[in-house]
Structure 1
C-alpha cells in the first residue's frame, strides 16, 4: 500500500510478544512507510523514580533497556530493509547521565522510500474496534461508577509499585498484596469523590477484602506483578532500589530523583 509516515508513541510496551511481531510485519512490510517513529520507556531510567517501581504502568508487558531496544530496532532493519537512528526524550539529572533518556526513541527510514506495492482495490482499511474512556463521559456515568473505574485503575497501578509479597517479612500469604487505604486517598481523583470512611464502605460493598483493622486492602497478586514476562535479561530484571538513591560506579556518586506525588504519577502513567 505505502504511506509517508507512522508513529508509535509509548505503544509497543503494551503488546505481548506475538502481537508485537504481527505489528512489526504490518507496519514495516505491508504498510512500509518512508519513516517510522517509535518511542518506549527506558527501563534503566526507572531507578530514578521514588520507590521500587517494576514497570511504569500496570498494562506494560515489558520495558526495555537501551541495549534491548536497540537490538530490536536493528533486527527490524535487517528483516525489512530499513535504517535506524536512536535518540530519546527527557534528559536525566546531570549526575545520572549513565541511565540515558526517560523515554527512548527510534527513527526508522526506508532504504527504498519510493517503492510501492500494487495497490489493493477499494478501501483496504476497516474499523476493527473502538474504545472510549467511559470515566470521561460525565453525563452517562454516576459518581459511583466513576469511583469504581478510578479505584480499579489505582489498585492496579499500586500493585505494580508494591514490593513482591515474597520480599515482605510481615506478609504471611505470598499470593496477596496489602495496599494501605490511605494510599488510595492520595489520588485526588478518588479523594474528590469520597472521604476515607466512605471509601472503606465502598470497597466492602464492591467485594474488596480489607484487613481486620480496615487499614489495608487485600488484593491477589497477579502473575504479571511477580515477573517481567520473560522480556528482560538477567541484568534488566535486577531488583530496583527501595529508595530514591542509586549507586553509580566505583566512586559512590548518588543520584536522587525529584519526588512525584501519587496523583501526578497516575497522570504520568496514563
Structure 2
C-alpha cells in the first residue's frame, strides 16, 4: 500500500526554468525510499511540495490518501520532516525547543518526549542550550522534533550533510532502527550513494526535473542475475548473446534472462568461438545505476 503518492508533479519557476516535469512515484508503507539526483535536479522542490511549502502548477501529493494541496492540515498531521538546515532558538535548551515546537500543535506528552530524546541519544545534553550543540547533536534534536508527535512517514532532506563518518553511521543506525522497530515509512533525499544503498529499499532518480528511474536499490534486487564476462572478443560475444536473448553492456556485464541458466550462456559463447577468460557473478552497485541513468540525454 502506498502511504505517500506523488502524482504528475509539474512546476515552473517565475524565471521560466522547469523544475519538475510530470514526476510521479510512490512510497510504500514501511519502506525507506531514496530520492537521488544532482544539485538542482528537483529533489528539494518535491520535498517542498510534499510539505505544502511550494505549490505545484500541475499535480498533487497525497499522504495517507489525503491531498496536501486540498487538505493540507489533514495530510501534514501524518508527516514529520527534517527539511533544509535545522533552526533552533539557541538561547533555549533542547528540551525547551521541543516544548515550543509541540506547543504549535497543542500536543505535549512528557513521557513520550523523554522516550524520543533517549532514542536519539540526547538525554545528557537535552537541558543544555542548543547554542552549545555540535552539528551532529543539532541533527539528532531535529530528528526528535520530526518524530513528535508520532508521524506515519518521515521526510529527511540531506540529513547526514556535514556529519563526520561516525555521525553518519550513528544516524544510519537510528533510521534503520526506526523502520525495524516502529514500522516508520521514510523518504530520504541524499547525495551520498553509499548511505542510500545501505539504508534504502527502493530509489527514485531525478534528472533535470524528470524521473529517470524508480525501482529497487541494486543491493536489494532479488530477480536480476548479472555476470561479469572477460574476453578479448567482446564484439563477437555480444552477437552470440543477442541470439540467446541476453544483453551485455560495454563493460562486459551480462544480464541472464530469467528463463535461462548461466551455464547455458557460457556454453553458447564457447560454441560461438568466444574465448571466455572469466565468468563470475556481478552485483550491480547504486553508483553504476545512478551514473548510467544520470548520464542519459
Q: Which has the higher strand share?
A: 2
User: Rg: which structure is higher?
Assistant: 2
Specify if TM > 0.5.
Answer: no
TM-score of the two chains, using structure 2 as the length reference: 0.21
TM-score of the two chains, using structure 1 as the length reference: 0.22
Higher relative contact order (CA 8 A, sep 6+): 1
